[in-house]
Structure 1
Amino acid sequence: MTLTKTLLSTALIASLAACSGADSDLPGADESQTESAMPDSEMSMENETMSDDAMDDTAMDDSGMSETMEATRGEVMKKDIMNPDGETIGTVTLTSLGMGGTEVKVDVSGLEQGTHALHFHQTGKCEGPDFTSAGGHFNPTDKEHGFDVAGGPHAGDMENIDVGINGEGVFTVTNERVSIRSDNSDLPALLDADGAALMIHQKADDYTSQPSGAAGARVGCAVIKS
């Protein structure tokens, strides 16, 4: 009888141990936690790597865009602007924009307060006191004068500039109809056989009147030559 109880007890213990071993073979909480923890860690590292790559790509894109924009800017030429008495009153800086024309930056002082016309003239001579040596407007394509006129404007026509009460001003305009020299684009070149002149007038250009917008006397002139 005692032997039978002992055998039964042993069998019961063995059975329970077997069940316990079988349960450990089933997918458990510990295995699930281990599997999920590793992908989370790897995913985190991958995200960090992708974020760094994305930042590098953005930096490269910005750099490439800057280089592309800078590549459109070519030759730069700076000339003095003289008044009718032969005194230097400022400078004009021309920057080639290729097929986009020419950027014109004017830095002047000693002018009357108000609005003044700004043009390119056809000859590179600035002989005072009236600067008539510069000829008429730069107009190689034989257009009418003025932005508000059918058949206009001249290649040398540009927007008016406004000078402050102190007589000083810095202005930047883009003339899309001229190039500095002929090898930069198909646009007419300022540096032709006799050059050109930048001219500031006493009054505003009305963008209509022929042949020069009723802009009055020539008060500032810069010779545009090589």
Structure 2
Amino acid sequence: MKNLKFIAFLLSITFLVACKNEKKTEEVIEVEKIEIEKIKTETTDKKTMTITLSPKSESTVSGTVNFVQENGQVKLAANMTGLTEGVHAIHIHQTADCSSVDGKSAGGHWNPTAQPHGKWGTEGGYHKGDIGNFNVEADGLGAIKMMTDEWCIGCGDENKDILGKAIIVHQGTDDFTSQPSGAAGARVSCAGIIE
């Protein structure tokens, strides 16, 4: 009888250990699944979009702006035609509304963090929409590229999400000091950042 009780005791300990090990194995498998899903999400978060710039303020400035989001970074590549020779500013503005003839329907610079206007990346502060200046040669062609982790495409974070905003190309140069817009002059081209 004692032997039967002892055997029953050993079997119950074996069963408990087996159940604990099975639970640990299930937990390890679940953690591994979560890690795999995280890796898949991080490597497949690539989003691309291209928007078309339309002339404003009686200009002939047009072009395209490409956005690529990958691995937590957004790359911008803008190519424009019809510009006058010299230095021009380009910014992201508050609203994807290019309906007015002067582009002012797009509102002011996109500035969700309420910073002063300035040069991108400087310690004195800058708007999330302060892209900067680019050069245009006599042929009227202009281009600018940049990359940042301060933007996202459709992530829902109001401090980073560029969807629903607009790209504005200006006739003049951003002086990076005049508030709130850098005294960049007329808005000569506009495109809503919409999918």
Hey, what's the Cα distance between the residues in 2 that align with 1:155 and 1:171?
Answer: 16
Shift of 1:97: 3.5
Q: Is the 8 A contact 2:117 2:125 kept in 1?
A: yes
Residue aligned with 2:135, SS = strand
Q: Which runs of 4+ in 1 moved over 6 A?
A: none
Q: Is the 8 A contact 2:61 2:80 kept in 1?
A: no
How many residue pairs end up in the alignment? 152
Q: Is the 8 A contact 1:156 1:178 kept in 2?
A: no
Q: Is the 8 A contact 1:112 1:167 kept in 2?
A: yes
Q: Mark the runs of 5 or more structure 1 residues left unpaired by the alignment.
A: 1-69
CA-based RMSD of the aligned residues comes to: 2.5
In structure 2, the residue matched to 1:164 is: 137
In structure 1, the residue matched to 2:190 is: 221
Hey, what's the Cα distance between the residues in 2 that align with 1:117 and 1:92?
Answer: 14
TM-score (norm 2): 0.69
In structure 1, the residue matched to 2:81 is: 109
Taking a change above 3 Å as real, the CA distance of residues 161 and 175 of structure 1, as seen in their structure-2 partners, is farther
* Cα deviation digits, residues 11-60 of structure 1 (max 9, x gap): xxxxxxxxxxxxxxxxxxxxxxxxxxxxxxxxxxxxxxxxxxxxxxxxxx
Shift of 1:210: 0.4
Residue type at the aligned position of 1:99: G
Residue type at the aligned position of 2:92: F
Q: Is the 8 A contact 1:146 1:153 kept in 2?
A: yes
Hey, what's the Cα distance between the residues in 1 that align with 2:86 and 2:45?
Answer: 31
Q: 2:53 aligns with which of 60, 65, 81?
A: 81
Hey, what's the Cα distance between the residues in 2 that align with 1:88 and 1:164?
Answer: 14
The answer to whether residue 112 in structure 2 is matched with residue 140 in structure 1 is yes
Shift of 1:150: 5.5
Higher helix content, 1 or 2: 1
Q: 1:131 aligns with which of 103, 106, 118?
A: 103
Taking a change above 3 Å as real, the CA distance of residues 187 and 99 of structure 1, as seen in their structure-2 partners, is farther
In structure 2, the residue matched to 1:196 is: 165
Shift of 1:175: 3.8
Q: Is the 8 A contact 2:54 2:191 kept in 1?
A: yes
Hey, what's the Cα distance between the residues in 2 that align with 1:143 and 1:73?
Answer: 29
Q: Is the 8 A contact 1:99 1:186 kept in 2?
A: no
Hey, what's the Cα distance between the residues in 2 that align with 1:171 and 1:160?
Answer: 8
Higher relative contact order (CA 8 A, sep 6+): 2
Higher strand content, 1 or 2: 2
Taking a change above 3 Å as real, the CA distance of residues 118 and 175 of structure 1, as seen in their structure-2 partners, is farther
Q: Is the 8 A contact 2:168 2:187 kept in 1?
A: yes
Shift of 1:199: 0.7
Shift of 1:128: 3.4
Q: Mark the runs of 5 or more structure 2 residues left unpaired by the alignment.
A: 1-41
